[in-house]
Amino acid sequence: MSARAVVLVLAAALAPLATTSVARAEDPCADRPATELDRRGDWRCVGLATYTDPTAEPVAPALGDEEAARLDVARPADWELGVAVSPDGRLYRQTALAPRGPDETRPVNPTPTDVVPEVGPQRADGGMGTRTIFGPDDRLRRSATTSYPWRVVGSISSPGATTSNCSGSLIGPRHLLTAGHCIHRGSGGKDEGWYPNRKVAPGQDGIGTYPNGLKNSHWYFSVSGWFDHGDPAYDYAMVVLEDQRSTAGLGWLGWRSNGHWGEHWTAGYPIWSHDCADSPSADGQCDNHQYGDSDPTLLVLSKQIKTHVDVQGGQSGSPVYERDGDDRRVTGVIAYHGGNWATRVTAARANNFCDWIHAHPSAFASHPCE
């Protein structure tokens, strides 16, 4: 047999091995260590997640009353199925709806009552309209951001940035509830993708000022209604942070999936360059301080809540919560301007919160969902 023939025979014999090796190397679901979701029967890895530019800014979308009314229709139940991204970039899909969890959970404050009491706005007469700020800007700065509850409201920023572009609130010892568009662009062709490596600063108090630390994201969760369909009525998500004692020690808000009428509150982080009436800065810019407001509910739809609490771009993901003394429970997530509109906490979404918390508990604090 000629030398060339020998080479061809060996190449033919080794080809299946080489092909198998390449195939295995390109399968992130088979060749990487199992995650919490791999060990469950109701989630499956489907490949690698697609990311967008790390420095890209989430768009602060608007939603009019007519569009919101058109969205208030029944959708398939599987639009609430979870979609998740692991720390190493694998994409997971939920195959069965989350088991029933508590419709309400209580907040947790590991320290004594608030150092600075929660103060509502001193309302002045002003015209209503389809603007972000309704009449005079009556948001008040929350300056005691090392105190509960302000320390559980956090800013979300791009890696390396000192200013934020979204907000969120802790509803578990390492579990930040936010808007879906703060971590994923939603269905939409070329712009689809997850925002990688978001940083969370609970109680940020000014540009580059992190009195409670800057936290790394670990897992992302959203739902099919947002990931696949880009439906504003499903615009919610959770960022699971790295598990740290310092994060768990901040406490968290509760939630409730019923009784959404009446006075409610919000707190979050406007884009630093916007104007805030209660700004401590000479130029009146918001400068990445935390601001809060309250207002009665205007409209409750099946999956959204309309409110006139004052918010601006950057406050997407902020909690809408009801309070009874020190008992604060999230009823929605600020997501759209023009109303303003919050993605409503429903029973199905409360089930998802519990399921995501249960999948990633903290070693430093327990939660009823665990």
Structure confidence at residue 234 (pLDDT): 97
pLDDT of residue 247: 98
What's at 264, amino acid-wise?
H
Please list the residues that pair with 293 across neighbouring strands.
266
pLDDT of residue 4: 52
What's the pLDDT score for residue 123? Answer: 44
Q: What is each CA distance from 284 to 17, 135, 219, in whole angstroms?
A: 66, 17, 36
DSSP 60-80: --B--HHHHHHH-S---GGGG
DSSP secondary structure of 331-347: EEEEEEBTTTEEEE--H
Which of the 8 DSSP states describes residue 367?
-
- Using DSSP bridges, classify how beta strands 291-300 and 304-307 pair: parallel, antiparallel or unpaired: antiparallel
- Are residues 177 and 353 in contact, defined by beta-carbon separation less than 8 angstroms? yes
Give the pLDDT confidence score for residue 62 in this predicted structure: 86
- Is the distance from CB of 333 to CB of 318 less than 8 angstroms? yes
Distance, in Å, from the CA atom of 94 to the CA atom of 291, rounded to the nearest integer, reads: 36
Could you tell me the pTM of the whole model?
0.90
Q: Give per-residue pLDDT as tens, 166-222.
A: 999 999 999 999 999 999 998 754 557 999 999 999 999 999 999 999 999 999 999
Backbone angles phi, psi at 43, to 5 degrees: -135, 150
Q: Which residues contact 35 (CB under 8 A, 6 or more apart)?
A: 45, 86, 90, 92
Write down the pLDDT at residue 326. 87
Chain mean position to CA 212: 19
Name the stretches of the chain with pLDDT < 50.
Answer: 6-11, 17-21, 23, 122-131, 189
Sorted by sequence, the CB contacts under 8 Å of residue 39 that are 6+ apart come out as none
